[in-house]
A and B are shown apart, each in its own frame.
Chain A
Amino acid sequence: DADVTQTPRNRITKTGKRIMLECSQTKGHDRMYWYRQDPGLGLRLIYYSFDVKDINKGEISDGYSVSRQAQAKFSLSLESAIPNQTALYFCATSDPAGGVDTQYFGPGTRLTVL
């Protein structure tokens, strides 16, 4: 089984709808991240959480919110989706133990907002 899973894998929705993307991990990592990937722009950080009680805004948090329900679960919400939020969304986890904070990525969720 994959260590980092994302649901759904694909979603098509309409402008104004509320959408939740979910991420679960079995790696036991405290740190979790949400990124979006757009063609020609690379991955950009939306939100990150270093433990269950810690939530931080990333580079492009406007229009998004997150919830860290447990160490293993980190959800991303779009309260009112708009077309320019069409992108590929990735969840990632990491563990800085040993001084090497490698990130492990989920398979991604492709979101299309019409």
Chain B
Amino acid sequence: KQEVTQIPAALSVPEGENLVLNCSFTDSAIYNLQWFRQDPGKGLTSLLLIQSSQREQTSGRLNASLDKSSGRSTLYIAASQPGDSATYLCAFRSGNFGNEKLTFGTGTRLTIIP
């Protein structure tokens, strides 16, 4: 069974700093991974998706990496801003074709201090 761990559960950093969020998984047989952002009272918003054949994806100040051999993914946020404050979730897609499922981590609650 795929297990996904995100450490730390909460993180506070001053505005302007670069930071890294971590995600680890137990089953390397994945199709892809996604990083989501969750804001209070709102649903999840997909930030980046990395296919299993890729090593990283970038969008603006965000960069996500995938290392299947070590069972790790990271989300790098450059030049953090107060608007980046949210809970960040990683999720892996695995399973047989037609029966794929997403397995979510428990999230890291990020607070950017102005």
Q: Judging by beta carbons under 8 Å apart, are A107 and B41 in contact?
A: yes
Interface window among B60-68, B69-77, B100-108: B100-108
Interface window among A12-20, A42-50, A61-69, A70-78: A42-50
**B-facing residues in A93-114 (Cβ within 8 Å):** 99-108
* B interface, over-half SS: strand
- Min distance, Cβ B98 to any Cβ of chain A, angstroms: 7
- Min distance, Cβ B85 to any Cβ of chain A, angstroms: 18
Specify which of B42, B89, B102 is in contact with A45 (CB 8 Å cutoff). Answer: B102
Specify which of B34, B42, B89, B91 is in contact with A107 (CB 8 Å cutoff). Answer: B42
**A-facing residues in B53-98 (Cβ within 8 Å):** 89, 91, 93, 98
**With A42-B89, A58-B101: A106-B43 Cβ-Cβ less than 8 Å:** yes
Residues of chain B within 8 A of A107, CB atoms compared: 41-43
Specify which of A42, A59, A100, A105 is in contact with B51 (CB 8 Å cutoff). Answer: A100
Count chain B residues whose beta carbon lies closer than 8 angstroms to a beta carbon of A: 24
Residues of chain B within 8 A of A92, CB atoms compared: 43-44
**With A50-B98, A101-B100, A102-B34: A90-B44 Cβ-Cβ less than 8 Å:** yes
Asked if B4 is at the interface (CB within 8 A of a chain A CB), the reply is yes
Q: Judging by beta carbons under 8 Å apart, are B100 and A108 in contact?
A: no
Q: Contact residues of B with A, CB < 8 Å?
A: 4, 32, 34, 36, 41-46, 49, 51, 89, 91, 93, 98-102, 104-107
- 26 A-B pairs, CB-CB below 8 angstroms? A41-B106, A42-B4, A42-B105, A42-B107, A43-B44, A43-B91, A43-B102, A45-B101, A48-B101, A56-B99, A90-B43, A90-B44, A99-B51, A100-B32, A101-B32, A101-B93, A102-B34, A102-B46, A102-B49, A103-B44, A103-B46, A103-B102, A105-B43, A105-B45, A106-B43, A107-B42
